[in-house]
Amino acid sequence: MLLSLPALHLQTSKHHPLFQLPHGRLGPWCNPTGSPAPLSCETGCGVGSWILVCRLLVPTQVSLLSMEEDIDTRKINNSFLRDHSYATEADIISTVEFNHTGELLATGDKGGRVVIFQREQEVLVEEQTPDVVLGSILRVLKFSLPSLQSKNQVHRRGEYNVYSTFQSHEPEFDYLKSLEIEEKINKIRWLPQQNAAYFLLSTNDKTVKLWKVSERDKRPEGYNLKDEEGRLRDPATITTLRVPVLRPMDLMVEATPRRVFANAHTYHINSISVNSDYETYMSADDLRINLWNFEITNQSFNIVDIKPANMEELTEVITAAEFHPHHCNTFVYSSSKGTIRLCDMRASALCDRHTKFFEEPEDPSNRSFFSEIISSISDVKFSHSGRYIMTRDYLTVKVWDLNMENRPIETYQVHDYLRSKLCSLYENDCIFDKFECVWNGSDSVIMTGSYNNFFRMFDRNTKRDVTLEASRENSKPRAILKPRKVCVGGKRRKDEISVDSLDFSKKILHTAWHPSENIIAVAATNNLYIFQDKVN
């Protein structure tokens, strides 16, 4: 049964000229079977050379408003999108997520909006001029083609365009608790596509919503009781009976809320995860995890509850949770104490007793005032194979084998040079930043963010790592990213940056990796950077 909610139809033109953003060649790196090929630094993948495909500025509230007011919006809105003075706190990206095919990329921001980008299909186009196709808008990259293709034809991989933009959550006020509920989108999770429409879950601190995103290119005409403008006609004037027909129209994308899951969380929601049965999902807050059925909005099952009888005895909170990618009965959740618990819902209805408990013993020699803070896990992710768990704390990324609970099998230092800066990071609250981490499609490379708009990649096979920067200075399309190095002390080389020069207001908290290709999305304030591995 669907909720009797007023349908919210926010329409955006799929081919609006403002959003025709250049997209370079995205080199395929899949096996003939379609599964991701293993990454290799020698072939230019993994932590090798990366190039910028495009920098997408998420439309601001001002630019969206001007789009509605003016028909010819290309000139007006480009000025808004390129002028950072118009970017407000509400425009800061708070989550990034590819769908299961990688054709759609959704971002949520602190203003409660969801912006979906779509990647156009690959096409063959005739070469019009030596360097330019379609005027001066799209840049075509020429490369060697099979002999079956004409010499004057070149590949043009699809551009990333804004597909849909809609307001997912609005600010609310809890009058019973005198609390203001922010509209900020905490998480977005896609459901696998079953038909022509797309479905996604979005959540703020209290409410989860299921959205349907669909296309419409026809409209009904020829009503009997309504005129062409939709007004009711006088029945006395109706002398003939007409059969309504469907007429073609410009393609429109509609976003409609199909379910609203509310009033189940006392504390702030930090995670949502879709189960592999695609019938249920879970939402986690600081002290509880609830299991929902997609068809039932007024009831959920509490599967984890760590709230003590006396809140003064509270020692840890839940920081992240995720379902196993293949086993619908298994899930993990992490805590602020740096521990991970694996639970099996077949054991009991309330999973207070975990099946496995992952914790690394602390080295007493490294104990400090900040030990408990920096050991708090900010993100937990199952590998695509389901064999490993990856966790991110403030300074490190750790990979755990499900069969070994006493210590991680791999530990990667993200920014160990900040260990001497923990006191100042505590004073400016940066020590409480929640960094996310992601796997690549074959689970061979992991990526996570850092400060100064740096993000890190670690190749699990070769043990190589690289630091890259997402910045406006490197925002020229097809620009090759140069590895960055941070100098801790002593003489600084030309290409190095001093740890004292790092800008802690610029941080990469949210990243996403294409599920089957070597393409990554990195969010920096209201900028979304799309990178790909360099293909010679």
The string of DSSP letters for 15-46 reads T-GGG----------B-TTSSBPPP-GGGT-T
CA–CA separation, 300 and 240 (whole Å): 53
User: How does 74-89 read in b/e, with b if 16+ C-beta sit within 10 Å?
Assistant: eeebeebbeeeebbee
- CA atoms of 492 and 490, how far apart (whole Å): 6
The pLDDT of residue 397 is 98
pLDDT the model gives residue 86? 58
Amino acid, single-letter form, for residue 218: K
Q: How far apart are CA 346 and CA 304, in angstroms?
A: 14
Concatenating the DSSP letter of every residue in 68-125 gives: HH-SS-HHHHHHHHH-GGG--GGGSEEEEEE-TTSSEEEEEETTSEEEEEEEPPPEEE
More confident residue, 133 or 381: 381
For residue 82, pLDDT over 90 is answered with no
With 0-12 / 13-18 / 19 or more C-beta atoms within 10 angstroms meaning exposed / middle / buried, residue 141 is middle
Residue 492 is given by DSSP the state P
Task: Tell whether the model's pLDDT for residue 522 goes beyond 70.
Answer: yes
Q: List the helix and strand counts (H, then E) for the chain.
A: 4, 37
Residues 382, 347: Cα–Cα separation, whole Å = 21
Most confident of 14-23, 171-180, 290-299, 485-494: 290-299
| Tens-digit pLDDT profile for residues 22-36 | 333 333 333 333 333
Cα separation of 512 and 227, whole Å?
48
Closest C-alpha among 518, 363, 522 to residue 27: 518
The tens digit of pLDDT for each residue in 387-401 reads: 999 999 999 999 999
| Helix spans in 283-383 (H) | 371-374
Ramachandran sector of residue 272 (left: φ over 0; alpha: ψ -120 to 50; beta: rest):
beta
**187-190 and 527-533 as β-strands: parallel, antiparallel, unpaired?**
unpaired
pLDDT of amino acid 123: 57
One-character DSSP codes across 140-174:
-------TTS-TTEEEEPPPEEEEEEEE----EEE
Span 249-290, pLDDT tens digits: 888 999 999 999 999 999 999 999 999 999 999 999 999 999
Rounded mean pLDDT of 497-510? 93
Which residue, 455, 445, 465, 453, is CA-closest to 505?
Answer: 453
Residue 112 Cα distances to 87, 151, 186, 205, 433, angstroms: 15, 48, 9, 11, 20
CB 54, CB 22: distance < 8 Å:
yes
